[in-house]
Chains A and B, each alone.
Chain A
Amino acid sequence: MDNSNRTGGPPRLPMRAKIATTVGGAAATVSRLTGRDGSVIGGIVGLRLQPDLLSLLAQGRQIVLVTGTNGKTTTTRLITAALSALGQEIASNMYGANMEAGLTSALSRAPDAPLAVLETDEKYIPAMVRATRPRVVVLLNLSRDQMDRAAEIWLLARRWRDALAAAPDCRVVANADDPLVAWAASGARQVTWVAAGQRWREDSWCCPHCGAHLQRDGDDWSCRECPNRRPPVSWVLAGETVIDPSGRARPIELSLPGRANRSNAVVALAVADAFGVPVPNALRELRGVTSVAGRYTQVRRNGCELRLLLAKNPAGWLEALDVLAPPPVPVLLAVNAQGPDGRDTSWLWDVDYRRLRHRVVLVGGERKLDLAVRLEADGVPFRLVNDIDEAISAAGAPSLDVLANYTAFQQYRAVLGRTE
């Protein structure tokens, strides 16, 4: 379906909203000049002056909301890249400010952009669907994440389902291989089903509809006690290739590593297709993305080539461990438990580390002892390090893969410098 000519640009804002965006924009500029991240502060100031600012800013634009436990930031970046083939300005919150103020700020910074691709926190999807009336909502996956502050995921799936059922004009692009996501999306009027795969299954052994233990056979799943089953898919990730709805297979060949990113890319292709971007054009743009908000960045320090990987929860760590360079490249694992990480480190016990047994493992971060006890239980030898330079000298190798959770990653990035 080609809707690329449907864009007329956003209408003019009412005066009060205009003042709110200008003041908000000024606040963001001041914030950037004083060295703070300006991506949220402008939105907060603007929303205080005009509480429905986000709805006003969203009017007349074609909006894509991207949510899920993992891959939001990367997929937002990939969709933005794919849609750039349309040659129109795209508003996006590319640095992960994914609540109302972050979305507001992204739209007010690009007042004339007819398109917007907005990463959205899982909890905010119902409110953001109501406020922005998106053309497309992307549901990637749903798994346990920082439960000291996040909602329970069965509850979250139910809220998504109710919100999408109440938005008949919205197309949902959803991962059919994740039973919780599929159940949430199946309430929507229009769904594009993507076989994007599901590596982490510990949160979806049971039917979200009736609770029975699901029958699972490869990627297929079905409930034994109710009609809930994996829907028929139109886009498929098959190993290193993508199969489009016409059945044509193409190699994906991303610059970004790993199965999870190929999965994100197939979702991005399905979204681009909904906007009329041909697959080869979209693929070309996706291949040009080499790092996302510092993730996958290569940095050289003290003669060692470092590669930075971010993972925040068990499902993310499972995928990230797959992406590690093979031995003998040493790995540095780092864990913090500050507010944004979740203050509870229990999740470390949901990850299987046994495949690290035969390589050099260094352990850092503020909660390194929690991780050390976990590795001890899995029989993985390790060495504790206090900072990145100690890790580099302990590794004694030409390269080092660094896998860290959120604030541990940010701390290393601050030391290494913010290279894109």
Chain B
Amino acid sequence: MTSLRLVWVYPDLLSTYGDRGNALVLERRARLRGIPTEIIEVNSDQPVPLDGHIYLMGGGEDLPQTLATRRLLADGGLHEAVNRGAVLFAVCAGYQMLGMEFGGVDDVAIAGLGLLDMRSGRGEQRAVGEIVADVDPVLRVPKLTGFENHQGVTRLGPHAKPLARTTLGIGNGDGTEGAYAGRVLGTYLHGPALVRNPGLADLLLSWAVGQLPPLRPEAEALAQRLRDERLAAVTPQP
């Protein structure tokens, strides 16, 4: 690999809240390990390149979410890259898009990208707030901490696994949070979800480049402090 290519899909439509953070965290953690990295931003009027290593999709309102889905289905590039083994990480609206269908404007069912075996619709109440979830132990990633802001309810089919089980917050709505299958992974933690979850960032990087050397502790210290602070802030004190 000459350089690690991070493809940020449709920032013009899917970048509601700090989604750039995920690209920046992956870039930083790859570079700290000596892996040259480039971020490629692909707008909705451009073809999705096939040669990316990690594809990123962010959040969006109902209408942009529907438009982005329609264009990605017509373009086909993302599907081809995923079929070739690329990593795909999606948050919030992007996560819902990965499934077989989701609720669009006025909760009309919209056909999704079909990259994860799951279906989403609109719940009764909006889920807004801090979320904490224990990750599937197979993935060896510490518990997730983040912020969710969505009204989606997601049910997984037999070919997708829950990413985590919530201990705080709503997630998929049935006690699970997020989903993954192969190298496709999505979560309701919105915006810069990888900032407080460097373990998840490293999982994605390792899927793309293989085993990773550990970082120097001082390079991790600040993110770890933030992570500890946020977990402590939402964990009931004895």
Query: Across the interface, do A213 and B43 meet the contact criterion of CB distance under 8 Å?
Result: yes
Supply 16 further A-B pairs (C-beta < 8 A) apart from A154-B63, A206-B64, A344-B149.
A148-B129, A149-B128, A154-B61, A205-B12, A212-B45, A224-B45, A343-B129, A344-B191, A346-B17, A346-B147, A347-B17, A349-B192, A372-B222, A373-B222, A374-B21, A374-B195
Binding site for A on B (CB under 8 A): 11-13, 15-21, 24-25, 28, 43-45, 61-64, 67, 128-130, 147, 149, 190-192, 195, 222-223, 225-226, 229
A340 to chain B, nearest CB (A): 15
Q: A370-B226, A372-B222, A376-B222 are in contact. Are A346 and B192 (CB under 8 A)?
A: yes
B95 to chain A, nearest CB (A): 15
Residues of chain A from 200 to 257 with CB closer than 8 A to chain B in the complex: 202, 205-206, 211-213, 224
Binding site for B on A (CB under 8 A): 144, 147-149, 152-155, 202, 205-206, 211-213, 224, 343-350, 369-370, 372-374, 376-378
Q: How far is the CA of A372 from the CA of B19 in the complex (A)?
A: 17
Q: In the complex, how many residue pairs between chain A and chain B have their CB atoms under 8 Å apart? A: 89
Q: How far is the CA of A344 from the CA of B62 in the complex (A)?
A: 20
Main secondary structure of the interface of B (DSSP, over half): mixed
Which residues from chain B contact A155 at a C-beta distance below 8 Å? Answer: 61-62
Q: How far is the CA of A111 from the CA of B29 in the complex (A)?
A: 62
Query: Across the interface, do A349 and B13 meet the contact criterion of CB distance under 8 Å?
Result: no
A49 to chain B, nearest CB (A): 33
Contact of B67 among A149, A206, A376 (CB under 8 A): A206
Q: How far is the CA of A154 from the CA of B129 in the complex (A)?
A: 22
Query: Across the interface, do B128 and A148 meet the contact criterion of CB distance under 8 Å?
Result: yes
Which residues from chain B contact A206 at a C-beta distance below 8 Å? Answer: 12-13, 44, 64, 67
Q: How far is the CA of A155 from the CA of B190 in the complex (A)?
A: 19
Residue on B with the closest CB to A207?
B67
Query: Across the interface, do B229 and A349 meet the contact criterion of CB distance under 8 Å?
Result: no
Q: How far is the CA of A167 from the CA of B25 in the complex (A)?
A: 48
Query: Across the interface, do A213 and B191 meet the contact criterion of CB distance under 8 Å?
Result: no
A210 to chain B, nearest CB (A): 9
Which residues from chain B contact A212 at a C-beta distance below 8 Å? Answer: 45
